[in-house]
Amino acid sequence: MALIAFASPKGGVGKTTVAAHVAALLARRGHKVIAIDLDPQNALRYHLGVPLREERSFLSRLGTHLAWRDAAVEAEAGVRVLPFGPVDPLRALEIAQMLAAQPQLLADPVREMLAVPGLIVVLDSPPGPNTALAALTPLLDLMVIVLLADGGSAAIIPQIASNRFLGRGTLATRSADRAVLVLNQVDEAEPLSEAVFEMARGALGPRLIGAICRDQLLAEALADKRMLLQGESGAGEDLQLLAEAIVKRLKLPRPGGPDGGFSALYEWGRV
Ligand SMILES: Nc1ncnc2c1ncn2[C@@H]1O[C@H](COP(=O)(O)OP(=O)(O)O)[C@@H](O)[C@H]1O
Ligand SMILES: [Mg+2]
């Protein structure tokens, strides 16, 4: 039904943390969610609570005609996960090259997922330009670009505003509303962070879809094997607001809505 990618020109900005939380928050809202790890780091599984003994993997077995339904792992957070799988750097390169030559190896199964009614597909992309994200870009409903509120982002924000980030030409320009920005690790007490935030707000307007404060709780969540899913004050609340903004932007129907059962009867209240 909907394809949402978390991407960034840079690594270490919080893509995996934010992607995992948004996927889990959408699942809590009642949506069917499948999260695909496109990053050979294979870290999304840890965030979403895939058991360590679990050996199923998706991208690392690309080209073997492995059905995505067989590779999907039901994770603690209520999200189905397609882990990248453990790979050495050489195999990661082979996969990247395979996807450059045959993007349909990934695009075809994802198109099949998108045909499942109500299913939301969340992608955790590796940093920078990469063949996995390129294979899926034509199918994207939303590309959420994550940046830190730091000096390094200042040069990138104008590229996002002008859509050069999405490529050149009319197609990139026409795709503008599909690329939105989230600033992570915003710190009100830091003048540089505030300046970058204001710059992003000025350049992008409503395409700045979220801001997440720097929060020790979020940094420790992974080590503690838990997620901030209760709207905890601080980053927990910011992540919740981000998930809501994504729902609104994509006009995602309420799960169990008109085509999900006898909702009208439930609304009358006595069934
Ligand atoms: N808002 C935040 N406040 C504090 N620490 C954060 C925040 N967001 C992410 N982190 C920490 O930053 C590090 C990088 O996050 P990660 O999601 O792995 O980034 P990426 O996937 O972009 O490489 C992790 O240690 C994570 O816990
Ligand atoms: Mg990551």
Nearest-atom number in ligand 1 for the CA of 235 is 1
Model's pTM, two decimal places? 0.92
Q: With bands split at pLDDT 50, 70 and 90, how would you rate the model's confidence at 271?
A: very low
- Give residue ranges with CB within 6 A of ligand 1: 8, 11-17, 184-185, 212, 214-215, 218-219, 222, 235
Q: How far is the CA of 94 from the centre of ligand 1 (A)?
A: 28
* pLDDT value at 127 more than 90: yes
CB atoms under 10 Å from CB of 238, counted, come to 25
Task: Give the ligand 1 atom nearest the CA of 219.
Answer: 27
Q: Which residues pair with 208 in a beta bridge?
A: 181
For residue 211, what are the CA distances in angstroms to 66, 113, 180?
38, 30, 12
Name which of 68-77, 146-155, 171-180 the model is least confident about: 171-180
Q: Looking at the predicted structure, is the pLDDT value of residue 212 above 70?
A: yes
Q: How far apart are CA 188 and CA 169, in angstroms?
A: 37
User: Is beta strand 32-37 parallel, antiparallel or unpaired with respect to 142-148?
Assistant: unpaired
Q: Is the pLDDT of residue 209 over 50?
A: yes
**Cα 263 from chain centre:** 29
Q: 63 CA distance to ligand 2 centroid (A)?
A: 24
